Structure 1
Amino acid sequence: MTHRLPRQPLIDALRGFALLGVFLVNLRFFSLDALMSEAAQQALPSAALDQAIRTGMEWLVDMKAITLFSLLFGMGVAMQMDGRAPGSMAAHLRRMAVLLVIGLLHSVLLWWGDILLVYAVVGLLLPLFRHLGDRALLCSGLFIALLLPPLLSPWIREWVALLTPRAQMNAMVLGALEHGSLAQAWWHNLQLAAWLKLSN
């Protein structure tokens, strides 16, 4: 039987605050503003206000909310994988498997900007680092954060160059959402989701 950890009110409150920030950041994408060309954005009656809001969100909320949410995700995973709790690893893997399925469905059926899929994949890989010491964890984190991106960058740039240009991809998705069938919207949603995962 899996040991149920007690709730942590402070972490729950921070998680709710971070989720609110992520929601506010993503409102621009939910409204499809991010898919519009710059000329189309400037043609809107609210162009000046929209730009002011975008700038404010970038300064005050944007990556801050996502960073906080990612930090809390890592803390939650660490608590779930506590080696002293019986069945903790099996429970963690089940949660990540369910999150993976939800992320896949969310990416295809609802929104191309889904992040749950990334969290699930990372969560499934984290047990590989479970028994490392503090120094090994620090070195691994520094390597992944600082050294791995420059090493992969040349191959990523070549790969991205083969993909459909972002502006063209945005126009295709926007056209499918405006005038296409539900199946076409899903198909282009999947394409943009895959494009974002590969290009980022």
Structure 2
Amino acid sequence: MTDIAAPVGQSDRIGEIDIVRGFALFGVLWMNVLGMGGFVVPEDKIHGLTQFETLEKVVGFWSHLLMAGKAQALFSLLFGFGFAIMMDRIGQRGGDGTKIYLRRLTILLVVGIAHTCLLWTGDILNAYAAMGFLLLLTRRWSSGWLLAAGVALATLVPLAVLVFYQMTTPAGQPPAFVALMEAGAESRWPIVMGRDYPAFVVAMFKALFIEFYSQPMMLSYFGWILGRFMIGSWIFRQGWVQEPRRYQMGYALTAATFIPVGLLLSVRRFIMQGIEVEPMEWATSLFRSLGAVSELVLAIGYGALLMLLCQIPAVRRALSGLGTVGQMALTNYLTQSLFFVFVLYGFGLGLLPWMGATLSLVFAVVVFAIQIAFSRWWLSRYRFGPAEWLWRWGTYGTKPALKRT
């Protein structure tokens, strides 16, 4: 008899999704390192390679243009897709996946909060779990409503929050949450570069839960996460990813349209800065909210391009390293933070001050290469990553077989 509550087997995995997830995870790693200045610590403390100023500017421009916010958007779409496929497969077996899904999210929430406080204040898992609970409410919505609400949340909520800050912030002053985060980053600098771990834990907690989640800006953050979840769930319902060879032309058209449009929306700020033009005051919030639109559009374009490339056997083999990392996404995401602690912070080598645009990219490539090698080695011997194995055990209540036979 088939266990209706059994986890998805390896044979049921969609290999292309693992590759896309691995790509997104590399982008998350890259942008997390690059974004520490101004978020975790003051931006002016990250001096980068001062002797190569032109190189820093060029790499920084292309880094922000191509990946800033896009990897997180792609990861969010994949979360929504994963929710839909999990509920669908359990439903096909005649079961109700709600209890399983709630247990899965509860574990993720606990892991995310612990990860936030103990290692990395930029943790995304706690927010994903929180919005995942709300995503469950959309399970029986029609596809039309799901897409419409998802697009609205992912684009209009950020606009509404920006309008709120524009209306309530005195002219010439930064919004209150910006001043709060800048002061927090300044206070964290000696802690992050020091060796007082209890103080580090307190600082990580304050950074996320006091400086960010207690502010109205968090509504924008939650809105675009939930909206992207819903769009990812809608994409599953269309069946495009389940039969990739059938929709190759659609992938090609999507990539050829969404990537140029997304890049154009992303570059708008750099163009206006170059010609020294500022948007009219009434349009400032609208102009800034286009950032959320560009992230979503480019994420969809990147996903479509990768799905298309995966249909070429030689290219798929070349991308297989991304797939191994994607199969162990939770394990690899958590271990990236260990690299932060032991390489960038004062607990280890203390290299954070040099992590400008150039070395951020180098660091990300080196760490990700290590993760590809480790993931290949591990998956050749075991069926799941360590964190994935524990997560499945807690979710389904039965200990899954770990070793390959």
Asked if these proteins are the same fold (TM beyond 0.5), I'd say: yes
Measure the CA separation in 2 of the matches of 1:64 and 1:112. 19
How far does residue 150 in structure 1 lie from its aligned partner after superposition? 4.3
Distance 1:154 1:180, change over 3 A: farther
Distance 1:142 1:45, change over 3 A: same
Q: 2:106 aligns with which of 86, 97, 105?
A: 97
How far does residue 20 in structure 1 lie from its aligned partner after superposition? 1.2
Q: Deviations over 1:69-108 (max 9, x none)?
A: 1111111011112133424222211111111011101111
* TM-score, normalised via structure 2 length: 0.44
Q: 1:59 aligns with which of 53, 60, 65?
A: 65
Q: 2:126 aligns with which of 101, 117, 125?
A: 117
Q: Deviations over 1:115-174 (max 9, x none)?
A: 111111111111101111122223322432344444455666769627753322111111
Matched, 1:168 2:176: no
| Aligned counterpart, 2:202 | 187
Distance 1:75 1:150, change over 3 A: same
Measure the CA separation in 2 of the matches of 1:39 and 1:101. 32
Measure the CA separation in 2 of the matches of 1:60 and 1:142. 22
Distance 1:79 1:36, change over 3 A: same
Task: Specify every segment of 5 or more residues in structure 1 that has no aligned partner in the other structure, as ranges.
Answer: none
Q: 2:7 aligns with which of 4, 9, 16?
A: 4
The answer to whether the 8 Å contact 1:96/1:120 transfers is yes
Higher share of residues assigned helix: 1
Amino acid paired to 2:104 = R
Structure with higher RCO (Cα < 8 A, 6+ apart)? 2
Q: 1:134 aligns with which of 124, 132, 143?
A: 143
Amino acid paired to 1:93 = L
Amino acid paired to 1:175 = P
Amino acid paired to 1:113 = G
Distance 1:129 1:78, change over 3 A: same
Amino acid paired to 1:25 = M
Task: Specify every segment of 5 or more residues in structure 2 that has no aligned partner in the other structure, as ranges.
Answer: 170-174, 219-405
Measure the CA separation in 1 of the matches of 2:111 and 2:133. 14
How far does residue 191 in structure 1 lie from its aligned partner after superposition? 1.1
The answer to whether the 8 Å contact 1:80/1:89 transfers is no
| Aligned counterpart, 2:92 | 84
How far does residue 4 in structure 1 lie from its aligned partner after superposition? 3.2
| Aligned counterpart, 2:341 | none
Distance 1:186 1:156, change over 3 A: farther
Measure the CA separation in 2 of the matches of 1:118 and 1:88. 21
Give me the CA root mean square deviation: 2.8
Q: Which has the larger radius of gyration?
A: 2
Matched, 1:196 2:192: no
The answer to whether the 8 Å contact 2:117/2:201 transfers is yes
Amino acid paired to 2:208 = A
* TM-score, normalised via structure 1 length: 0.83
Distance 1:39 1:131, change over 3 A: closer
| Aligned counterpart, 1:24 | 30
Once the two structures are overlaid, the 10-residue window that deviates more, 85-94 or 158-167, is 158-167
The answer to whether the 8 Å contact 2:37/2:46 transfers is no
Distance 1:146 1:41, change over 3 A: same
Percent of aligned pairs sharing the same letter: 28
Amino acid paired to 1:100 = L
Distance 1:45 1:33, change over 3 A: farther
Q: Secondary structure at the match of 2:92?
A: coil
Amino acid paired to 2:92 = R
Amino acid paired to 1:11 = I
The answer to whether the 8 Å contact 2:42/2:185 transfers is yes
Q: Secondary structure at the match of 1:174?
A: helix
Measure the CA separation in 1 of the matches of 2:179 and 2:109. 26
The answer to whether the 8 Å contact 2:118/2:201 transfers is yes
